Structure 1
């Protein structure tokens, strides 16, 4: 493996660095974007029961807010519920903007890696071919070993760049779709909370 990396030239260093960074982002996002962490099951029913029974204390509000992204939105809505429906919705929208920003954390970096690693591979290809033609100009076509070295460098960097870019692109799209789904679910839960608090909907948490 080390010989293969060495044969690819110095451009293998940034490609490998990109692969390590992409792997770290993927692992972190897989943990952070778990549905059970972002949208705990039964949270809205639990919150409403506490509100209805008068047991919603500031300590419990802080706990709910810190436990999940949906909790951040729910608490923001409850804090402004006494000011009317529209103010409550605005508070929820403001909190949701911050939550979405956190859910999309590092996704731009993953997308950048997916975009630049093929270009790094292409650059390696160009450098390898330049070396090949330079040797042809100096030595002619008689030294097959030198020519093969330049061609192998070109092919190795291209393959390495694509090997990093393809899974990075697939996972970037997957995480974007996952965030969109989570945001839609949180939006539906928030609307349900607003309507229940202001008596526009029967209590139904199914």
Structure 2
């Protein structure tokens, strides 16, 4: 037991050496801010792209969340009012609801009395306008999803060129530390571009799926409304 205890006991000199090694490790660690600063000029446009992507996603998310909300029984109330001849009441209800579906049906209600083809055309035109509003800025988000990784790769290429120029101009033998430092600094922009592009791509597809759901609801409501106008003719 005594010999075992002596084997695992560290001397003061060993303790001092371990503390020194720990201090060197702490000093050699690199913070996120240091990495961002090491990325060079490409980090500035990448930062702007990331801010734009965050703004577009949350702005569109809140807009689509509001657009998808239709009061319970809204279509049934419109149908009852139209069948009862309360056109003004149906028009007022659509104006108060203020959603893509209500604005589309409101245009149809305001055209009651015109030929059915004209009513269908008016509803389709409003539907196109509403879809355009829903898709606003989505193209920019898709562009960011594709451009951020490419911009990061461009920053890496330019960083690697600068690193090899520095190595070529260095006198004497090139140390591995110099080579590895140049490479890791250049790779920072690629990693940053991917960290921006991947979430932007996922967010874009998520928003597109929400828009598809809203468009399906608009199409269903318009078909029901046109069928309603055809019922007295049956």
Q: TM-score range by the shorter chain?
A: 0.7 to 0.9
Q: Decide whether aligned partners of structure 1 residues 201 and 42 sit closer, same or farther in structure 2, where only a CA change above 3 A counts.
A: farther
- 1:93 is aligned to 124
| Cα-to-partner distance string for 1:92-138 (whole Å, 9 max, x where unaligned) | 10000100001101100100100110111111110111012101211
Match of 2:14 in 1: none
The residue aligned with 1:63 is: 96
2:218 alignment partner in structure 1: 186
Please report the TM-score for the alignment, with normalisation by the length of structure 2.
Answer: 0.77
Task: Provide the rounded CA distance (Å) in 2 between the counterparts of 1:62 and 1:185.
Answer: 18
Q: Please give the secondary structure, in 2, of the residue aligned with 1:192.
A: helix
Number of paired residues? 199
Query: In 2 relative to 1, CA 83–39 (structure 1 residues): closer, same or farther, beyond 3 Å?
Result: farther
The structure 2 residue matched to 1:2, chosen from 8, 33, 40, is: 33
Asked if the contact 1:124–1:153 (Cα under 8 Å) also holds between the matched residues in 2, the reply is no
| Distance of 1:150 and 1:46 partners within structure 2 | 68
Moved more, 47-56 or 67-76: 47-56
The CA distance in 2 between the partners of 1:200 and 1:156, in whole Å, is: 68
Instruction: Give the 5 Å matches for 1:35-184.
Output: 37-40=67-70, 41-53=72-84, 54=86, 56-57=88-89, 59-64=92-97, 67-139=98-170, 141-184=173-216
**1:135–1:146 CA contact under 8 A, matched in 2:** no
The verdict on how the C-alpha distance between 1:171 and 1:200 changes in structure 2, with shifts beyond 3 A counting, is: farther
Structure 1 unaligned regions, length at least 5 = none
Deviations 1:161-193 (A, max 9, x none): 000001111111221222122212210111101
Give the C-alpha shift of residue 143 in structure 1: 4.3
Task: Name whichever of 2-11 and 192-201 sits farther off.
Answer: 192-201
Offset at residue 60 of structure 1 (A):
4.2
Alpha-carbon contact 1:7-1:156 (below 8 Å) kept: yes
Q: 2:28 — aligned with what?
A: none
Alpha-carbon distance in structure 1 between the residues aligned to 2:185 and 2:73: 56
Q: TM-score, normalised by structure 1?
A: 0.87
Q: Distance in 1 between matches of 2:232 and 2:82?
A: 16
Bigger Rg over Cα: 2
